[in-house]
């Protein structure tokens, strides 16, 4: 029997009205599979509306998920705000932190049906953090080929993506959670996890698909990387 009792999915969002509905629909499908396989685990979703000025919040509310408003404007702070809200809620319900799993993704990302259940399987195998892979959606063929060449989409990979990162809540709190930064908050957290414990794993079983947009909100972010890759792919085509 699993030791987990609750999974909260934390989704930071800034003006994601074009993508958030698909994200939340995929999470609902994954939560339904989780309930079938692990009926003793409850699941909820919190969307952190970080400086949103569009209809992201309305779309999230329409799908019955919890929303939090943030005016910080940094993805690390938004992720941490959602995680703290999840932990506070489960503590009020009397659940210990080690019975709670924080599954992190992004509002421009869709997850596979097995996404949540697979993370429980890894947790039951003794892992307190699960680091998954990402595939950009809609890349042209040359850019997709470069992505495949530069990313080891397999078990034991060495990539880190905030859009596909699960962690037990007690470990999250112990290492200090996501830092309030605009870039590389995921890598920073994983580095602290690895310094603290060996109970982590990397997997391709939970691969998610994320937007391949090239207009980055932060210089040096994921969209900037995709844009640079696209330019390189075009020159090699």
Q: Is 227 contained in some domain? A: no
Phi then psi for residue 14, to 5 deg, are -135, 110
Q: Is 230 contained in some domain? A: no
* CA dist., res. 206 & res. 203, Å (int): 7
Q: Is 217 contained in some domain? A: no
Going residue by residue through the chain (237 aa), what tens digit of pLDDT does each one get? Answer: 579 999 999 999 999 999 999 999 999 999 999 999 999 999 999 999 999 999 999 999 999 999 999 999 999 999 999 999 999 999 999 999 999 999 999 999 999 999 999 999 999 999 999 999 999 998 888 888 888 888 889 999 999 999 999 999 999 999 999 999 999 999 999 999 999 999 999 999 999 999 976 565 655 556 656 656 656 545 445
* CA dist., res. 30 & res. 111, Å (int): 7
Task: Tell me the pTM.
Answer: 0.91
Q: Is 206 contained in some domain? A: yes
Q: Is 163 contained in some domain? A: yes
The CATH number of the domain holding residue 172 is: 3.90.550.10
The range of the structural domain enclosing residue 33 comes to 6-139+151-212
Q: Is 92 contained in some domain? A: yes
Domain count for the chain: 1
Quote the pLDDT of residue 112: 99
Q: Is 226 contained in some domain? A: no
Tell the burial category of 87 from Cβ atoms under 10 Å away from its Cβ (0-12, 13-18, 19+).
buried
Q: Is 145 contained in some domain? A: no
């Amino acid at each position: 029997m699993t030791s987990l009792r609750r999974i909260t999915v934390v989704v930071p969002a800034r003006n994601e009205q074009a993508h958030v509905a698909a994200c939340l629909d995929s999470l609902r499908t994954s939560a339904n599979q989780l309930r079938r396989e692990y009926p003793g685990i409850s699941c909820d979703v919190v969307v952190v509306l970080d400086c949103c000025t569009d209809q992201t919040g309305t779309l999230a509310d329409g799908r019955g998920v919890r929303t939090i408003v943030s005016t910080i404007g940094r993805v690390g702070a938004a992720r941490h705000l959602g995680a703290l809200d999840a932990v506070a809620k489960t503590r009020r319900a009397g659940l210990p932190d080690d019975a709670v799993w924080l599954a992190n993704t992004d509002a421009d990302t869709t997850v596979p049906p097995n996404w949540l259940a697979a993370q429980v399987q890894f947790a039951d195998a003794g892992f307190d953090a699960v680091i998954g892979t990402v595939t950009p959606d809609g890349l042209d063929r040359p850019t997709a080929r470069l992505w495949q060449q530069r990313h080891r989409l397999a078990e034991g990979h060495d990539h880190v993506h905030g859009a596909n990162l699960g962690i037990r809540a007690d470990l999250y709190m112990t290492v200090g959670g996501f830092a309030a930064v605009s870039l590389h908050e995921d890598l920073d957290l994983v580095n602290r996890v690895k310094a603290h414990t060996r109970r982590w794993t990397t997997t391709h079983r939970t691969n998610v698909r994320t937007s391949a947009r090239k207009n980055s909100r932060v210089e040096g972010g994921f969209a900037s990387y995709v844009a640079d890759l696209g330019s390189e792919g075009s020159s090699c085509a």
